[in-house]
Structure 1
Amino acid sequence: MHRGLKPLLAVAGVALVAGCAAPSEPQVTFYSHGRSVEVAPAQYCDPTGENCTTSPDAVGDLRVPERAPLQISVPGKVAETPWQVVFLYRGANGEELDGRSPVFAPDERHAYTLQLPPDGTRLEHVEVQQFSAVLTEGVDGGVDFGIGGSWVLNVQQQ
């Protein structure tokens, strides 16, 4: 091989490897009582709601004691868009209930502490939802934003 081509091929190989490295998808961190878990998105789309990847197995597991808070931390890539937290929990009588946080405006916050409502005893399932720029007609005549990203946590009991 010609001596002048070796450095050129080496540089081209490095550029090729660097060019193929896809940007990593943002991870959400869930924390409770000294333990945390980072969760990859179960679904993640570009801002237009296109080019989605899904990973149904991307579900975190974390033990959260009864009536205990759950802290959620989202990276800048999530916080720069509207997002919210939806959750399922058990009421004092064992009934399955659901709830949701307010929708957080872009760059409003990077963290949220989920405290169950007074009627709740046990958190069971949590999902962080990142809204996309896709609008659809709402059931009540308004508009709904599409979900562009979703991070899922199953809560383990003691």
Structure 2
Amino acid sequence: MHRGLKSLLLAAPLGVVALAGCSAPSAPQVTFYSHGEAIEVAPARFCDATGENCAPPAEDPVGKLRVPEKSPLQISVPGEVSATPWQVSYIYRGVDGQEVEGRTGVIRPDERHSYTLRVPPDGTRLEHVEVQQYSGLLVLGEDGGVDFPIAATWVIDPT
């Protein structure tokens, strides 16, 4: 299990929250597309505003999709996700074998419904991608500032 998903799943009891609702919310799907193939992925984590009524994750919440070297990965999110702040977090391995973690800037509510992830064109390979939806709540950060917890995440491990 990759560090990002592992840390997200471990952090879940600490107050990961999502959109308002009284019971487990309906879990939207995110579509990942590359090189003529598309998959829809259910969330690995998706909870209501209290962080307690969570939709159970799929049996295997990590999608698999072939993403050839130098190929972009297109990501489409539904309105329930694009109506909130979200970002794409990723891990790739450079040609030197070094693992590199990165993420997009925060995509503002209703700014866009899709994102195209491109890695350096030098033989770099994507290894892990997460779409992360922020909650609307603020949490006191360890450094004294405020953090916006991740409310939901959709995960693929490119092959």
Q: TM-score, normalised by structure 1?
A: 0.78
CA distance in 2, matches of 1:148, 1:103: 14
Mapped pair 1:140 → 2:143:
yes
CA contact (8 A) 1:82 1:104 kept: yes
Identity value in percent: 65
CA distance in 1, matches of 2:74, 2:123: 17
CA distance in 1, matches of 2:29, 2:42: 5
CA distance in 2, matches of 1:63, 1:82: 27
Give the superposition deviation at 1:118: 6.0
CA distance in 1, matches of 2:122, 2:100: 9
Give the superposition deviation at 1:140: 2.7
| Greater fraction strand | 1
Residue 78 of structure 1 aligns to a residue whose secondary structure is: helix
Superposed, 1:80-95 pairs within 5 Å as 80-95=83-98
Unpaired segments of 5 or more residues in structure 1?
1-21
Q: CA distance change for structure 1 residues 33 and 153 in 2, over 3 Å: closer, same or farther?
A: same
Aligned pair count reads: 135
Q: Which has the larger radius of gyration?
A: 1
CA distance in 2, matches of 1:138, 1:117: 33
CA contact (8 A) 1:48 1:134 kept: no
Q: CA distance change for structure 1 residues 45 and 91 in 2, over 3 Å: closer, same or farther?
A: same
Unpaired segments of 5 or more residues in structure 2?
1-23
Corresponding residue of 1:41: 43
CA contact (8 A) 1:59 1:151 kept: yes
| C-alpha RMSD of the superposition | 1.9
Greater shift in the superposed pair: 133-142 or 66-75: 133-142
Superposed, 1:8-27 pairs within 5 Å as 24-27=26-29
Corresponding residue of 2:32: 30
| CA deviation profile, 1:43-89 (whole Å, cap 9, x unmatched) | 00124434223426221100000121100000000000000000010
Q: CA distance change for structure 1 residues 131 and 149 in 2, over 3 Å: closer, same or farther?
A: same
